[in-house]
Amino acid sequence: MTYIHISDQSVFDRFLAIESGSYREMVHFYEDYRDTITRLDIRQRFELYVCYIEALFEMGKYAEVLLHIDDAIEATITSNYSELLGVDIYFNLLMKKAVSLYQTGKVEESEKITTQLLSMNPDEPNVRFFFKDNLMHRYRKLVLPTRVFFIAGVISTMIIMAIEVLVIIPFYSEYIDVISRVRNILFLFSILIFISGEASRFLLMEWQAFLQIRLLRKQKNILSVKKTVSNLHKTGK
């Protein structure tokens, strides 16, 4: 995509004029005018940088997001940008970092940041959902045996069915009822094992999430009370 030369301020205005949701155009525009954007004042430069990261994130370019997001988070802290366009920008960037880490296979790092986000706001539904998703990934090994058993059970059932059709029915019809019962019991048992494994994983995840969120909410309340008491003491002095 090629653009004619435009002034620094015009770059800022034209970027913001790009239609919402046109993430590919935002990325192309930012990368084409990166040098011009660096000459904008710090606030405008930061706004465009955050929008650029948002566009990369929405396009699923998580590895590229991770290349830039730490700089954006640092700028948020040093420049004290608590909100941008009505959004808690620090919290928003941390969330994007957690998701990007998860999507690039760095699950443990993602879980640490997600726990940090929960400590900041235990009642944020998106963070709670993502935290549970992390826990589900952590407990994936618990269901491997039940899934293997289920697959083995289904394969065994299919083998028994083949033997039943090719051998039992033509030559040993007196064993049809017995073989059918064995086949059905094996198949139903395999399903029950599979369901029990998945249900156990889900319940364990929900219980762990409940305990963790309750603990973080309690810690946040305690810190809030301590801060209030400290402010009252300072006011009294």
Torsion angle of C-alpha atoms 98, 104, 105, 111, degrees rounded to 10: 0
Q: How far apart are CA 194 and CA 215, in angstroms?
A: 32
Decide if 2 contacts 28 (C-beta within 8 A).
no
Predicted TM-score (pTM) of the model is 0.72
Which residue did the predictor score with more confidence, 21 or 230? 21
pLDDT at 87: 72
Q: How many CB atoms lie within 10 A of CB 30?
A: 20
Residue 1's pLDDT is what? 40
How far apart CA 15 and CA 34 sit, in angstroms, is 12
- Residue 118: CB partners within 8 Å, gap ≥ 6? 124, 127, 128, 131, 212, 213, 216
Q: What is the DSSP string of 6-49?
A: --HHHHHHHHHHSPTT-HHHHHHHHHHTHHHHTTS-HHHHHHHH
Q: What is the pLDDT of residue 222?
A: 64
Q: How far is CA 11 from CA 37, 48, 51, 151, in A?
A: 7, 10, 14, 58
C-beta of residue 9 within 8 angstroms of C-beta of residue 41: no
Q: What is the mean pLDDT of the chain?
A: 83
pLDDT of residue 135: 84
Q: What is the mean pLDDT of residues 2-30?
A: 76
Q: What is the pLDDT of residue 24?
A: 92
Tokens of 213: 């969120």
Query: Residue 166: how many CB atoms within 10 A of its CB?
Result: 10
Residue found by looking up tokens 């928003």 in the block? 92
- pLDDT-derived band at 136 (thresholds 50, 70, 90) equals confident
Q: What is the pLDDT of residue 58?
A: 93
Among 78, 5, 3, 94, CA closest to 46: 78
Q: Which residues pair with 87 in a beta bridge?
A: 84
Split at pLDDT 50, 70, 90, the class of 131 is confident
pLDDT in tens, 44-102: 888 899 999 999 999 999 999 999 999 999 888 887 776 665 678 889 999 999 999 99
Angle subtended by helix axes 89-103 and 62-78, to nearest 10: 150
- Mean pLDDT throughout 24-34? 90
